[in-house]
Amino acid sequence: MKIVISFLYLLFLSSYSNASGLNVYGLGVYDLICDTKDDPTVDFRYERRFDNSILDIGPEEDNFFFLKPFVGFEYTGDNASYVLTGIYLEDNVGQLFKGKKNKAIFTPSFGIGYYDDGSGKKLGNDIQFRTSLELSYELSNKNRIGFSLSHISNANLGNKNPGVETFSILYQIPY
């Protein structure tokens, strides 16, 4: 119940009236690089990405510097759960490398949240940080399909910090 209340609270804090953005659904492999006795398991992910910029740190013509908020939830096959909020930025890959837009989108993100290990991997602390790199392709109906590689870690806040990597396939629907 604490996780549900935390998620709703984070959603409330990060939302804006009349917001637009993306609903992101993911299915992946949790603990992709196993360095312990724990086996990899399935990872389910949901994120709500808001299109409202919370910080503009670059020139107006380059949207790479517009930081935007997100909230999310991850749940694994080992009953581990992770509720988080953070920031992301998007850049069109074609515009980034060739100066001309195409349908490929690069999205790095950083988040912080509450982790409950359930019967899964013990990450050493309830507070965890997640960094992600994502590449997606925009379909003709404006939905996107892509993949991401994420790392979750407590940044040495606990006595141990094993970390975990997740590889996910994502489907994104604008709202």
Q: Is residue 21 situated within a structural domain?
A: no
CB-side exposure of 170: number of CA atoms within 13 Å? Answer: 30
Q: Is residue 55 situated within a structural domain?
A: yes
What pLDDT is stored for residue 29 in this prediction?
A: 97
pLDDT band at 126 (very low <50, low <70, confident <90, very high): very high
Instruction: Write out the residue range of the structural domain in which residue 79 sits.
Output: 2-14+28-174
Domain CATH for 8: 2.40.160.20
- Domain count for the chain, please give it: 1
Q: Is residue 129 situated within a structural domain?
A: yes
| Alpha helices by DSSP H, the chain | 2-14, 93-98
Tokens representing residue 142 in the block:
């404006």
Does the pLDDT of residue 8 top 70, yes or no? no
Determine the Cα–Cα distance for residues 137 and 171; give it in Å rounded to an integer. Answer: 10
Q: Is residue 22 situated within a structural domain?
A: no
Q: Is residue 19 situated within a structural domain?
A: no
Q: Is residue 23 situated within a structural domain?
A: no
Does the pLDDT of residue 9 top 90, yes or no? no
pLDDT band at 173 (very low <50, low <70, confident <90, very high): very high
Q: Is residue 61 situated within a structural domain?
A: yes
Mean pLDDT for the chain? Answer: 88
What pLDDT is stored for residue 13 in this prediction?
A: 58
Cβ atoms of residues 75 and 44 within 8 Å: yes
Cβ atoms of residues 110 and 85 within 8 Å: no
Query: What value, to the nearest 5°, has the Cα angle with vertex 171 and ends 170 and 173?
Result: 140
Does the pLDDT of residue 63 top 70, yes or no? no
Does the pLDDT of residue 61 top 80, yes or no? no
Does the pLDDT of residue 129 top 70, yes or no? yes
Beta bridge partners of 28: 43, 168
What pLDDT is stored for residue 75 in this prediction?
A: 97
Q: How much is the average pLDDT of 105-113?
A: 97
